[in-house]
Amino acid sequence: MDMPWGSAESGKFVTNVGLITSNGPYGHNVMSAEWTHHVSYSPGLVMVNVGFDKATEANIKKSAVFGVNLAAFDQNIIASISGGSTGKEIDKIAVLKELGVEFYKAKKINVLMVKGAALNAECKLFQAIKLGDHHAFIGEVLTASATDKQPIAYSDGKYWKFGEHVMKPPPEELERIREIVEKHRKK
């Protein structure tokens, strides 16, 4: 079956918003991708799922590099603009600059990076896999840095800011759980 965008089921997933920067046939560009995932520690790999019709898809296929800028909690407008039009028609970098958003040149690859993001990671294409209706670009992280800002969360088609930290149960309850786990250890 399909699980389309906007369905109740797909809206249950909690994702982050990668501001994916690229440079290629469509010039410097930025798009929003909620399907941005850290998928390996060593080497550090980040996977971004990009629709086949996107300017970003063409850019990454050609240049084999991309920037992952995880939108911070206060970057929802950047996420909406980056996801609201295509770099085939609109110079989104110019739009964002005019709105006061700052970019810097990546150190290891020829793309722009978004200032003030929760995480900036410069990636070299490691593998590309066609997965259903998207192209999964897996990038090897060449250099990365995190800020102390929390990433924005995306769920049910809306942006969210982290709220309360869910506390662990008290020590007695943790001990009871540990005993039950031990009781069911496979011989």
Ligand X SMILES: Cc1cc2nc3c(=O)[nH]c(=O)nc-3n(C[C@H](O)[C@H](O)[C@H](O)COP(=O)(O)O)c2cc1C
Q: Which residues bind ligand X (CB under 6 A)?
A: 17, 29, 31-35, 49-51, 54-56, 79-80, 83, 85-88, 134, 154
Closest distance of CB 164 from ligand X, Å = 23
Q: Which is nearer to ligand X, 31 or 114 (CB)?
A: 31
The pair phi, psi for residue 70, each rounded to 5°, is -75, 120
Closest distance of CB 37 from ligand X, Å = 10
- C-alpha 49/C-alpha 66 separation (Å) is 12
Closest distance of CB 81 from ligand X, Å = 9
- Complete edge-to-edge strand list for the sheet that includes strand 153-155: 15-16, 153-155, 158-160
Closest distance of CB 93 from ligand X, Å = 10
Q: Are 4 and 33 in contact (CB under 8 A)?
A: no
Q: Are 139 and 59 in contact (CB under 8 A)?
A: no
Q: Which is nearer to ligand X, 55 or 101 (CB)?
A: 55
Q: Are 117 and 152 in contact (CB under 8 A)?
A: no
Q: Which is nearer to ligand X, 70 or 79 (CB)?
A: 79
Q: Are 3 and 11 in contact (CB under 8 A)?
A: no
Q: Which residue is nearest to ligand X (CB)?
A: 83
Helices marked H in the chain: 55-63, 76-84, 92-98, 171-183
Closest distance of CB 151 from ligand X, Å = 12
Closest distance of CB 133 from ligand X, Å = 9
Q: Which is nearer to ligand X, 88 or 176 (CB)?
A: 88
Q: Which is nearer to ligand X, 2 or 179 (CB)?
A: 2
Q: Are 13 and 49 in contact (CB under 8 A)?
A: no
Q: Which is nearer to ligand X, 97 or 178 (CB)?
A: 97
As a residue count, the chain comes to: 187
